[in-house]
Amino acid sequence: MSGKPTTIKERILMICEEQTVSKTKFFTQFGQSYSNFTGRDKKSPVSSEFLTRMVVKYPSYNSRWILTGQGNMIISTSSNSKMEELESDNNELRNRIKLLEEKLK
């Protein structure tokens, strides 16, 4: 693969290359054959079932990047921790609101 990957299948192949398993094993775990990602077959569409299984199995890969090529290939852990922090703050604020509502009753 040369240059920036332009198709979903090329981006999936990039993910495959980062794994410690063979290409055959990588695709077999999703009910596919590596040959579906080579030659002319590389231009055929990927099933939504395949994409769903892959995103569930490898949640650290950015599904937006897989589908569109936009954003980063791997989801930043700092983004995840920031989201967790915001969710925690949100829960704390909800609890404070409940306490204040109870005091008003």
Round to whole Å and give the CA distance between 49 and 30: 9
Give per-residue pLDDT as tens, 41-74.
999 999 999 999 999 999 999 999 999 999 899 9
Across residues 78-90, what is the average pLDDT? 72
* CATH number belonging to domain 1-74: 1.10.260.40
Integer angstrom CA distances of residue 97 from 40, 94, 105 = 59, 5, 13
The pLDDT of residue 98: 86
Evaluate whether 102 touches 94 at the Cβ level (below 8 Å): no
Domains in the chain: boundaries: 1-74, 77-105
Give per-residue pLDDT as tens, 4-35.
768 999 999 999 999 999 999 999 999 999 99
